[in-house]
Structure 1
Amino acid sequence: MFKLLKRLLVALVLGLALYSLLGFIVLPEVGQRLINQQLAHYTSLPAHLKKIQLNPFTLELSLHEFRLGTEDKPQLSFECFYTQLDWRSLWLGRIQVRSLSLEKPFVQIQLDPKGQLNAQSWFKLPPSDPSSKSSGLPLSIHIEHIALVNGHAQFEDLGPKEAVRLNYDQINLSARDFSTQENAIAELLLSLNNAQTQQQQLSWKGQVKLDPLLVNGQLKLEALELNNLRPYIQQAAPLVVEQGQLNLSSQVQLSLPASGLQLLLDDLSLDTKALRINAPDKRPLIRLEQLSLAKTSVNLAEQRLQIGKIHSQKLETWLAREADGELDWQKLFSNNSTTKSNPAQTKAPANKSSATEKPWQLQIATIQLRNYQIHAADRQPKEAVQLEVGPLNLDVSQIDTQSKRPLQFELNTGLGSKGRLKAQGQFNLATLAAQVQVNTQDVDLRLAQSYLSPLAQVELHSGLLNTTLDVAVTQIQPLALHVTGQAEITQWHLLDARRKQELIKWQRLHIAGIDYRHEQSLNIQRISLVQPYTRFVINPDLSSNFSTLLVKQTPEPTKKVPVQAAPKSINATKPMGIRIGSIQIINGSGYFADLSLKPDFATSIQTLSGDIGTLDNQSTRPAKVVIRGKVDRYSPLSIEGTLTPFDPLQNLDITTRFKQVEMTTLTPYSGKLAGYRIRKGRLDLDLHYRIQGKRLKAENQVVIHQLQLGERVDSDAAADLPIRLAIALLKDSSGTIHLDLPIEGNLEDPSFSIMPLLGKTLGNMLSKAVQAPFSLLGSLMDFGGADPNKIPFNAGQTELSTEAKTTLNALAKALKDRPDLMLEVEGASSPTLDGPSLAQQKLEQAYRALWYQKLQSKGERLPSSPDKLQISDQAKASLLEELYPIRLKQQPPNAWKSLSAQERQTQLQQAVLKSWNQDQASMRQLSQARAQTIKDYLVQQGGINNIRIYLVDSNLSASSENNTVASTLYLAGQ
């Protein structure tokens, strides 16, 4: 028995020794050699495993220092692979592993330009046998702990134009209770760092189940530099990401039930910072400070994307319409699409989605955009238009693509340097219906200059738009649009670009009670026009200043287009209804000049105010017209009556009256048509025009008071008639001429009945030849020793001196005592005395006018008149360089370039002054202004009725005495 025990003990010891020898020494050594031999046979790169350690008692296995690739450039390696098998695997019926770890693994993944992965060439595996069948029994494995420690991965993609290189280290993974058994759940932790920044960039904490598949946990992506992915972005879109950082966090749940893949991202947040995107030509496209998404969820099974809040601030972008009319962004992406796509390789999709496929649902609780800035440009006009939009703030809420509930939005942004735009309302994504309140304030309309220039030679110096509108869209096809509210344009100032003269201006155009229904009706409650002004000039060639401003358009070549049937319109047979409740004109004015006459004719209209009644193209009821104003300050003008605005040739009844018009302003016309200047006279016109069914019946009553002709004027157009005799015959005993000039005829027939007019005129002249006596005008007065015959004025001035006011006060008292006396005022000017002073005044006025225009073009707030501006001497020197070519129609002599700045300025100033020194028009204006000053003083200070004071034609060559020029006064009986 003892020997048996002894033998068993020896056998056991020998067995243990042999087991130990095999486990600790033989198997690791043999295993290492076999593995290296197999690696040499099945790998295309050098491969080596340095050491294997095995503990046959604890079932621990360690593989040390594995390397695939050269020693200096390995592509796959690890420092140590460790695993420990549990003895319980023998009776549990599964592989039970206590621990499995991999220390310092390294992998280098590379994609070549053809998209081939380098890992595909690492191993030379034998082809699989298709006849072999797997048993189908899943391998049951349970690993109590898995660890990957201090891993390192390098990724390089050589496919894009610019290679992509990513480098991550400190890759750590930890898993507990990993099992292939059904419903077994493992806890999994993963983290990796960016090798460049040494900051954690990706982390995962959650659970994993293999049967059935379930992944549930928290995913975090931090400080991802988007410029590292720039080549991929450029492949998808023509955008160059220069800078940008992305942070992402989400709760992830992934499962694969029998119904299909299910993915749920919950509590997702995304944050992008410091984003800089350029175009391929390096021009800036987007600058974004921050964009964040919070409280977001994605449900793949329900096809629903829910976003709690989108917040973005300080985005700056550039947008332009190119000369060909295409947006630069549109052209950028279309070029990229053309470059990338290959029609030959394009294939039709294998499966077309069903028309009944459930669409994705997008829900967004709130969107907040703050301090956006858009640099917009339109390069299609000859002069590019620049528009700055911002700072732009936008709030949107309640977005749901599958709900009938409308979203709410509010927009507040700047337009240009001073304009503002506010819009708020709601929009229904399902029906595309919208209700919006739009308010604009001080929108600079000078942006329209580039669009006006190709059509007319005008300069829009100022104009501000203000609106308060409610816009409603109830459907798109056909468009149902309803706009209500009010709008106004203030400080409108349009200039003649060639002559630098005012053309049309107003202080305020207000349109109240707007009600527009698309293609149905336009109703306006009231239009108010405050301080409108129009300048109309007839040129020497009989063209007008308006007609010469139009730019001749080159007609485009006609293209043959196939004839198509016109689309049917709901309102094709019924024109859109237009109704304007009333039009109000407040304190209007105008200027009219006829340069075809010698001398030039000019007059002005002031204080023009009135109302025009309801204008309605759906009604035959005529509109009432009441307009009143004054011609040359003291002559009343009235227009009253009714008209059918949209068809005035069917129904019109208008009476126009001019009272006490000074006929001296008509001297240019009398000189051309009658051959005589007008020395004195006043005109009353009563014009009554009636149109019924395109038939005109006009009653024109002309009354001329105290008409006196001046000297004869040579004129080829003058009528060969004894004008002075005719006037004398037509005057009644009080010196008044009455003319009735009826006109009657069909407007569609150019021939009118003029014989009754001539017959009545000749009859009146014959009857007056017998009845009208000659009367002499004149009277002598006693003014108590005062002599009112001459009223002196200083050189170039229109102000009255103290002595002149004393004289006029005495004259006013005499006129009040003798109400039958009339006063005639003859303005006077002297070229030798007034010329230099007047030229200096003209120069100062030109300085202020030009400086006013420059400030106006910069959008500066200005006084109501250029006369209120103060200009420095330095600014005048600069302005003088611009005035010289405008005034003299030539450039300064080249010899002046060698002069000093002061000498050159002196020469320029003397030349400009000389051009005004003998200006006849200026002399006449000065003379008339002096006569008007005397009349104003007697009317306003002396209390004399303006009807008793006549302005006679001016004396432009008066002599001077004591450095003054005297205007002459004449007395006449009524």
Structure 2
Amino acid sequence: MSKRNKSLTVGLLSAVFIYCLLGFLVLPGIALHVVNSQLEQRVSVPTRLDSLEFNPFSLELSLGELEIGQPGNPVLSFQRLYANLEITSLWRGALELESLTIERAWVAATLQESGELNLSRLLNRPEGAQQLADEEAATPFPVRIAHLKLVESRLYFQDLQPTNAVQARLERINMEIRQFSTLPGERSELLVSAEGPSNSQLQVQGSMGMLPLSSAGTLSIDGLPLSPFWPYVRDQIDLALQDGVLSTRFDYQMDLAQDLSVNLDKASATLSAFDITSPQGDSLARLSHLHIDDASLDLAARSIRVGTVRSRQLEAWISRAENGKVNWQAILPAAQDNSQPEQQAAWQIRLPDVQLREYRVNLTDRQPDSPLDLTLSSLELDLTGFDSATSAPFGLSVKTQINEEGFLSAKGQASLEPISLDLQVAAQNLALAQAQTYLDPFVRIDIRDGKLNTTAHVQLEALDPLALHVDAKADITDLHIVDSLENRDLVRWESLSLDGIVYRDNSLSVEQAQLLKPYARIIINQDLSTNIGNLVIEQPVDDNQTDQAPMAIRIGAVGIEKGSLNFADFSLQPNVALTVEELTGRIGTLDNQNTDPAELNLSGQVDRYAPVQVQGTLTPFDPLNSLDVQASFKDIELTTLSPYARKFAGYRIRKGRLDLDLHYQINAGNLEADNQVLLRDLQLGERVDSPNAVDLPIRLAVALLKDGKGNINITLPVQGDLSNPDFDIMPVIWQSLGNLLSRAATAPFRFIANLFGGDDADLSHVLFAPGAAALDAQARKQLDTLASALNDRPALRLEVEGMSSPAEDGLLVAQQRLDRELNRRWKKAVDQGQAEPSATQSGVPQEAIAGLLGGIYQERTKKEVPAEWSELDAQARNERMRNAILETWQGSEALLRRLAQERNESIKAYLVDNAGLSAQRVQLLDVGVEAVADNGEVPTTLHLSAE
């Protein structure tokens, strides 16, 4: 080799050596020093770069262990940055890299309460640097990176702006971008994956462009817990999140070329184990599963479409407090009053297919005096074709179970603009007692039972003014309403069927109503008030209430089958009690807008055995205008009417039966009546003083008017002006009757000891244990023997004269009366919520007796409990009060008569129901209260007479 070539070779090798020395060692060292120096000057927190390596031949750069922030707690760091520079960068006008890889990066981003990001404070910016940065951001440095990767990195995000800070971590962040470019019009391929809180997974796959900033692709999140991000919601809605997991996937398009444009398509999301409570920990909603699919969103067009919604097992709690506020109302933000609201198009929401299943809503209303709890279970909702931007109707279907027994469903169509409904509604087994809470302020009744079943076609066309049309039929079964003042039955029936119900334009019509086994109780009190009137609670006058036309009501016909009525008149002494049973028939059209009379055809029985027939016409809403009614009563026990006879005739009725044929006509308030009266086997009792009695020889008149069969057949015409307040029909009738009935023939009864079978037993008396009305074995044996004898002799008739004895029965009936009063008052207190029933014993608890006795003592004696009794022990004090109360009842004629009447009824019921004796052959006489005891037992006398 020549000397020249050797020199050239040595020069080249030296140059290469120097190039290598500079590239591999000197320049990286200098660069590392310069970088650390610049970082120290330009970064506001401690910063350190551990190593810098450069390959001058392959143009590969590697940075190792960068930390920005406090040692051990950096804000920004990475383990290694690797870059491979393309030599083409020298002539293409852009920084081009074959690859750029950042390994194990760490970012701790904190959004301060002021809204400033902590990363923005890392650099020490000289004056004018912000304007330069903004200009650079507007026109980014031209860069192309063929393969950009972020490997196994982490992000910690903290937002201090909400009331409770938001903290979230992303782990195992891997990002790969192919053909990354900041040049206009060039796009990159993007692939991102990360692990979020609770091992949730985040994936993004798509493309992006930097100028203008845009991106399109698919994003998916799997198993993301909502709790880390709930403070954002909590500041808007005061709800506490207990649990909740979200998974979602959607295609997206985002473009910032002009305004923000975001479009989501093929979106699906699943929310599970969602549980929210009030801030105080009260449960509000708990959702098992919610899934939406085929959803899309167009932010610019303000449009949302959710193709399908499927949800199940939601349980919600809704309550209204005493002040009328609903729990959700207090939680949700109040509507803001913007004086100049922004003119912006409303969002269009489309829901083609929604299905909600196994929902449960717990409703509680604490505003009424008696709180109401209502549960809607097995709630199902189907919604089809919903579009908030159109007036086209959408399909609606709802089903639910109410309080685990009643069912309610509705199916049809609805629309929002204008609001309208067209639904088929069905209700089954709805408990009417659920309405009790809202009736309490108006009436004093207790709904003990009653079920509503109905099917209806409901059409709502407008709300203001209300345009509602309902076609329905309904059944109300097993109704039981109790007078809460007396705790006695008021109204009940087995079923009420309403067919052809039509409501429209403040008009209600019912084609037909059918009542099965209805019952009503009507009482006239001592002050002439009625039990019905006493139940109505007077309401305060509303001065702002406007006059409104009364609803037009029309009922085509009312059918009654096997009805009953209890009537009592306590204004008379003794009281009158009357029962109508087996009431069956039909009432014609009832119309408050029409004066045409309604047909009336009813039949029944008075006091179980006396048939009654009523026929005719009347105007039900104005009976004094027009009435033409014929009524026929057969075999009425005259002893039932004894109080009226005492008042108007001056005698009590000892026995007898009554047939009445009545014909009443009213025309414009004028009464024309014919009363055909047939009295059979009438016997008057003793005379009584009555200021209303006619001053005529009643007993003589009865004797004269009786025919050969012992009957009295008379006609009593009545006329009068019903509009005259001094006209009273009952005194007129009873005075006329009293003039004609002047006496009753009495026939003594003599039992034949051996009337049947040669038995020598004395059958003239039935003996009762003191205070009892039940028949013992000996009495039943006597009655069996007597019935056998009477069945063989049809001409004989049995008369029963119930008796009681003050000496033998007085104390016992008083004790029974006291026990009934204690039980009644205790039950009333329990029913009204003033006392709690005992779980270990029935009847009145021992600890409640003293208080109840005190109330009864004051009521019966009209005195306060003597103060000196308070020094006695509880048992002695109770005994003193009990004895004092018993003294007030021990001689009560009413109680003794009641016992005697029960003995009467026991004997007749046994003879008719058990011994097979005809009811027409057993007559009950008026009772007595002066029986003489027989070996400690009280006798009831039996009388025998012939037809």
Distance 2:844 2:186 in 1: 90
- After superposition, the Cα gap between the structure-2 partners of 1:553 and 1:470, relative to the gap in structure 1 and judged at 3 Å, is closer
Alignment of 1:273-288 (within 5 A): 273-288=272-287
Cα deviation for residue 319 of structure 1 reads 0.6
Report the equivalent of 2:520. Answer: 534
Alignment of 1:211-360 (within 5 A): 214-255=214-255, 262-300=261-299, 303-333=302-332, 336-337=333-334, 348=340, 352-353=343-344, 357=345, 360=347
Alignment of 1:604-643 (within 5 A): 604-643=579-618
Report the equivalent of 1:586. Answer: 561
Cα deviation for residue 284 of structure 1 reads 1.7
- After superposition, the Cα gap between the structure-2 partners of 1:680 and 1:913, relative to the gap in structure 1 and judged at 3 Å, is same
- After superposition, the Cα gap between the structure-2 partners of 1:908 and 1:438, relative to the gap in structure 1 and judged at 3 Å, is farther
SS in 1 for 2:235: helix
Pairwise CA RMSD:
4.5
Distance 1:25 1:758 in 2: 137
From 639, 652, 656, the equivalent of 2:631 is: 656
> Quick check: 1:489 aligned with 2:476?
yes
CA contact (8 A) 1:779 1:973 kept: no
CA contact (8 A) 1:405 1:428 kept: yes
Q: Deviations over 1:75-95 (max 9, x none)?
A: 222222221111233355543
Alignment of 1:39-54 (within 5 A): 39-54=39-54
Alignment of 1:442-521 (within 5 A): 442-476=429-463, 478-519=465-506, 521=507
From 671, 687, 690, the equivalent of 1:712 is: 687
CA contact (8 A) 2:749 2:945 kept: no
Distance 1:830 1:757 in 2: 37
Alignment of 1:626-775 (within 5 A): 626-715=601-690, 718=693, 722-725=697-700, 727=702, 734-736=710-712, 738-745=714-721, 747-750=722-725
**Which segment drifts farther, 282-291 or 115-124?**
115-124
Report the equivalent of 1:171. Answer: 173
Distance 1:947 1:275 in 2: 75
CA contact (8 A) 1:400 1:407 kept: yes
Alignment of 1:112-123 (within 5 A): 112-123=112-123
**Which segment drifts farther, 832-841 or 583-592?**
832-841
Q: Deviations over 1:494-540 (max 9, x none)?
A: 22323322222222222222222243x32212212222222222333
- After superposition, the Cα gap between the structure-2 partners of 1:141 and 1:805, relative to the gap in structure 1 and judged at 3 Å, is same
**Which segment drifts farther, 42-51 or 782-791?**
782-791
Report the equivalent of 1:145. Answer: 147
Cα deviation for residue 883 of structure 1 reads 8.0
CA contact (8 A) 1:830 1:956 kept: yes
From 800, 804, 807, the equivalent of 2:786 is: 807
Cα deviation for residue 289 of structure 1 reads 1.6
Distance 2:607 2:662 in 1: 20
CA contact (8 A) 1:793 1:801 kept: no
Report the equivalent of 1:407. Answer: 394
- After superposition, the Cα gap between the structure-2 partners of 1:263 and 1:322, relative to the gap in structure 1 and judged at 3 Å, is same
Cα deviation for residue 405 of structure 1 reads 5.6
CA contact (8 A) 1:403 1:430 kept: yes
**Structure 1: unaligned runs, 5 residues or longer:** 859-871
Distance 1:660 1:235 in 2: 82
> Quick check: 1:107 aligned with 2:104?
no
SS in 2 for 1:58: coil
- After superposition, the Cα gap between the structure-2 partners of 1:325 and 1:730, relative to the gap in structure 1 and judged at 3 Å, is farther
Cα deviation for residue 583 of structure 1 reads 0.7
Alignment of 1:894-913 (within 5 A): none
Report the equivalent of 2:900. Answer: 927
> Quick check: 1:191 aligned with 2:193?
yes
Tell me the TM-score normalized by structure 2.
Answer: 0.85
SS in 1 for 2:435: helix
- After superposition, the Cα gap between the structure-2 partners of 1:879 and 1:726, relative to the gap in structure 1 and judged at 3 Å, is farther
Cα deviation for residue 103 of structure 1 reads 1.9
Distance 1:942 1:386 in 2: 52
Amino acid in the other structure paired with 1:281: Q
**Count of aligned pairs between the two proteins:** 920
Distance 1:290 1:527 in 2: 47
SS in 2 for 1:811: helix
**Structure 2: unaligned runs, 5 residues or longer:** 858-864
CA contact (8 A) 2:763 2:782 kept: no
CA contact (8 A) 1:446 1:463 kept: yes
CA contact (8 A) 1:537 1:592 kept: yes
Report the equivalent of 2:860. Answer: none
CA contact (8 A) 1:884 1:912 kept: no
SS in 2 for 1:955: coil
CA contact (8 A) 2:414 2:420 kept: yes
**Which segment drifts farther, 803-812 or 842-851?**
842-851
Distance 1:239 1:760 in 2: 79
- After superposition, the Cα gap between the structure-2 partners of 1:506 and 1:316, relative to the gap in structure 1 and judged at 3 Å, is same
Report the equivalent of 1:602. Answer: 577
Cα deviation for residue 265 of structure 1 reads 2.1
- After superposition, the Cα gap between the structure-2 partners of 1:422 and 1:850, relative to the gap in structure 1 and judged at 3 Å, is farther
Distance 1:880 1:495 in 2: 27
SS in 2 for 1:954: coil
SS in 2 for 1:449: helix
Tell me the TM-score normalized by structure 1.
Answer: 0.83
Distance 1:627 1:715 in 2: 35
Q: Deviations over 1:150-199 (max 9, x none)?
A: 222222222222222222222221112223456544222212223x64x2
CA contact (8 A) 1:191 1:200 kept: no
Amino acid in the other structure paired with 2:901: Q
**Which segment drifts farther, 665-674 or 728-737?**
728-737
SS in 1 for 2:400: strand
- After superposition, the Cα gap between the structure-2 partners of 1:114 and 1:673, relative to the gap in structure 1 and judged at 3 Å, is farther
Amino acid in the other structure paired with 1:314: Q
Distance 1:957 1:877 in 2: 33
CA contact (8 A) 1:812 1:942 kept: no
Report the equivalent of 1:543. Answer: 529
- After superposition, the Cα gap between the structure-2 partners of 1:24 and 1:178, relative to the gap in structure 1 and judged at 3 Å, is same
- After superposition, the Cα gap between the structure-2 partners of 1:794 and 1:444, relative to the gap in structure 1 and judged at 3 Å, is same
Amino acid in the other structure paired with 1:418: E
Distance 2:623 2:483 in 1: 31
- After superposition, the Cα gap between the structure-2 partners of 1:887 and 1:529, relative to the gap in structure 1 and judged at 3 Å, is farther
Report the equivalent of 1:127. Answer: 128
SS in 2 for 1:454: coil
- After superposition, the Cα gap between the structure-2 partners of 1:654 and 1:331, relative to the gap in structure 1 and judged at 3 Å, is farther
Cα deviation for residue 261 of structure 1 reads 5.1
Distance 1:576 1:136 in 2: 74
Amino acid in the other structure paired with 1:954: V
Cα deviation for residue 376 of structure 1 reads 0.6
SS in 1 for 2:238: coil
Cα deviation for residue 148 of structure 1 reads 1.0
CA contact (8 A) 1:432 1:474 kept: yes
- After superposition, the Cα gap between the structure-2 partners of 1:237 and 1:546, relative to the gap in structure 1 and judged at 3 Å, is same
CA contact (8 A) 1:643 1:653 kept: yes
Report the equivalent of 2:349. Answer: 362
CA contact (8 A) 1:880 1:909 kept: no
**Which segment drifts farther, 888-897 or 735-744?**
888-897
Distance 2:698 2:483 in 1: 40
Distance 1:838 1:430 in 2: 72
Q: Deviations over 1:45-95 (max 9, x none)?
A: 223333322222211122232222221332222222221111233355543
- After superposition, the Cα gap between the structure-2 partners of 1:896 and 1:876, relative to the gap in structure 1 and judged at 3 Å, is farther
